[in-house]
């Protein structure tokens, strides 16, 4: 980021947003819209100031500042350090033009390689999200409504313990499992099911399995929390009235668990779309995944403005997905955080 305009945008925008929120809160309290003790009255002046400073520091320096710097960088050309902030350092759309056309100057041909990788990543992330929901919903329902306390503790341990292992090591475990000389191929050839090893990694089976397994917990726990709060008498009443099992889940359990479903879906989708380790370890030679391309823009091509533009495109896509999920489930942003 360089130039007085970019610095003013990065530092001025968060301060303006914070000031607007404080002004709105003061206005609502003065007009009687918000009632009850205020934030500092509830927490005390010392703790209140600590919370405001700590949360502001975390939100500004860890979240807002890098994101705004990335957005600002994405609209600037690639220049040597000596020319940054100079007359050539002007806002431009050439990084986004390169994503679409593979050139910063020509628009004659589409950049099909990067466009295809982008839409494949989005489509595969949606499919993996739906697959995780199909896997996790029955388990979460059993844990929340049927399992005894002892069985629930065992299930939670079985779910959590594998995640004590690092994500990269889990990805390599899938690679060992699914490689040509791996356990699955040896079993298939041992029982005579196949004559030659199946190229699971080349077909991206390992990649999709690794990504799906990596974020199972992000789906299970929101579902479990939402279903666990459902009164079991509602399910029993539906059964007494003769409702079939699918009717109970479709019209009793799922409507109640909508915040948990939306929360789990958004978490799994965003983490899958932004995953880097699993595509690098489990991706085959012909795998098209967008995040390695973003990584390549930064650390292979050393074109940080172009990498920032690619990352911003992915970020906007994830935000659009979240808004669509909220629209489909008819939820507000605050409801999925409960």
Give residue 225's pLDDT. Answer: 92
Give residue 64's pLDDT. Answer: 81
Give residue 336's pLDDT. Answer: 65
The answer, yes or no, to whether residue 2 has pLDDT greater than 70, is: no
For the segment 36-61, the average pLDDT, to the nearest whole number, is: 78
Residues 219, 257: Cα–Cα separation, whole Å:
12
- Note the pLDDT tens digit of each residue in 315-329: 999 989 888 888 888
Residues 272, 318: Cα–Cα separation, whole Å:
10
The answer, yes or no, to whether residue 297 has pLDDT greater than 60, is: yes
Please, what are the domains in the chain?
4-75 (no CATH), 112-329 (1.10.3720.10)
From the centroid of its chain, how far is CA 296?
Answer: 20
| Three-state DSSP state, 76 | coil
Give residue 304's pLDDT. Answer: 92
DSSP letter at 63? I
In the structure encoding, which two tokens stand for residue 309, read together?
A: 């533009």
Q: Which residue has the higher pLDDT, 276 or 28?
A: 276
Burial classification of residue 153, based on how many CB atoms lie within 10 Å of its CB (0-12 exposed, 13-18 middle, 19 or more buried): exposed
| Three-state DSSP state, 17 | helix
Give residue 338's pLDDT. Answer: 61
In the structure encoding, which two tokens stand for residue 333, read together?
A: 């942003």
Share of the chain above pLDDT 90, in %: 44
For the segment 279-288, the average pLDDT, to the nearest whole number, is: 85
- Note the pLDDT tens digit of each residue in 111-124: 999 999 999 999 99
Q: Which residue has the higher pLDDT, 220 or 26?
A: 220
DSSP letter at 161? G
In our burial notation (b when 16+ CB lie closer than 10 A, e otherwise), range 32-61 reads eeeeeeeeeeeeeeeeeeeeeeeeeeeeee
Residues 182, 98: Cα–Cα separation, whole Å:
40
DSSP letter at 33? S
209 — pLDDT class (breaks 50, 70, 90)? very high
- Note the pLDDT tens digit of each residue in 147-180: 899 999 999 999 999 888 888 888 899 988 988 8
Check: CB of residue 320 under 8 Å from CB of residue 151.
Answer: no
Quick one: three-class SS letters along 162-219? HHHCCHHHHHHHHHHHHCCCCHHHHHHHHCCCCCCCCCCCCCCHHHHHHHHHHCHHHH
In the structure encoding, which two tokens stand for residue 49, read together?
A: 């100031």
Burial classification of residue 77, based on how many CB atoms lie within 10 Å of its CB (0-12 exposed, 13-18 middle, 19 or more buried): middle
- Note the pLDDT tens digit of each residue in 221-278: 999 999 999 998 999 999 999 899 999 999 999 999 998 999 999 999 999 999 998 8
Give residue 6's pLDDT. Answer: 58
- Note the pLDDT tens digit of each residue in 120-147: 999 999 999 999 999 999 999 999 998 8
Distances in Å between the Cα of 283 and the Cα atoms of 180, 199, 250, 276 are: 14, 12, 36, 10
Distances in Å between the Cα of 37 and the Cα atoms of 31, 32, 34, 42, 97 are: 15, 12, 9, 6, 52
Check: CB of residue 136 under 8 Å from CB of residue 128.
Answer: no
| Three-state DSSP state, 4 | helix
Give residue 313's pLDDT. Answer: 94
- Note the pLDDT tens digit of each residue in 57-112: 887 888 888 888 889 899 999 888 888 878 888 889 999 999 999 888 888 889 99
In the structure encoding, which two tokens stand for residue 144, read together?
A: 């929340």
Give the helix/strand (H/E) hosting 90: none
Share of the chain above pLDDT 70, in %: 89
The answer, yes or no, to whether residue 281 has pLDDT greater than 70, is: yes
Give residue 63's pLDDT. Answer: 80
Residues 333, 263: Cα–Cα separation, whole Å:
9
For the segment 13-39, the average pLDDT, to the nearest whole number, is: 69
Give residue 13's pLDDT. Answer: 66
Q: Which residue has the higher pLDDT, 17 or 260?
A: 260
14 — pLDDT class (breaks 50, 70, 90)? low
Give residue 86's pLDDT. Answer: 82
Burial classification of residue 268, based on how many CB atoms lie within 10 Å of its CB (0-12 exposed, 13-18 middle, 19 or more buried): buried
11 — pLDDT class (breaks 50, 70, 90)? low
């Amino acid at each position: 980021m360089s130039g007085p305009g970019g610095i003013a945008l990065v530092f001025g925008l968060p301060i303006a947003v914070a000031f607007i929120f404080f002004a709105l809160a003061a206005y609502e309290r003065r007009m009687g819209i918000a009632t009850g003790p205020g934030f500092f009255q509830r927490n005390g002046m010392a703790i209140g100031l600590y919370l405001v400073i700590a949360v502001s520091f975390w939100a500004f320096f860890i979240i807002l500042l890098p994101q705004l710097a990335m957005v600002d960088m994405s609209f600037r050309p690639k220049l040597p350090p000596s020319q940054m902030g100079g007359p050539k350092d002007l806002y431009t759309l050439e990084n986004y033009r390169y994503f679409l056309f593979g050139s910063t100057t020509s628009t004659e041909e589409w950049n099909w390689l990067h466009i295809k990788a982008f839409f494949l990543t989005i489509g595969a992330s949606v499919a993996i999200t739906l697959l995780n929901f199909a896997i996790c919903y029955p388990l979460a329902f059993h844990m929340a409504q049927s399992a005894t306390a002892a069985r629930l503790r065992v299930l939670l341990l079985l779910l959590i313990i594998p995640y004590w292992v690092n994500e990269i090591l889990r990805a390599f475990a899938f690679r060992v499992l699914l490689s040509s000389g791996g356990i699955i191929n040896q079993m298939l050839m041992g029982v005579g099911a196949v004559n030659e090893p199946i190229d699971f990694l080349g077909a991206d089976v390992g990649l999709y399995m690794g990504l799906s397994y990596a974020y199972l917990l992000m789906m299970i726990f929101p579902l479990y929390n939402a279903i666990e709060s459902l009164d079991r008498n509602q399910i029993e009443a539906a059964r007494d009235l003769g409702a079939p099992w699918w009717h109970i889940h479709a019209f009793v359990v799922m409507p109640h668990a909508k915040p948990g479903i939306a929360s789990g879906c958004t978490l799994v989708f965003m983490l899958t779309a932004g995953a880097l380790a699993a595509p690098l370890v489990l991706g085959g030679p012909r795998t098209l995944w967008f995040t390695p391309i973003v990584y390549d823009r930064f650390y292979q091509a050393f074109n940080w403005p172009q990498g920032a533009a690619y990352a911003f495109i992915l970020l906007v896509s994830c935000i659009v997905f979240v808004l669509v999920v909220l629209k489909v489930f008819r939820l507000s942003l605050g409801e999925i955080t409960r």
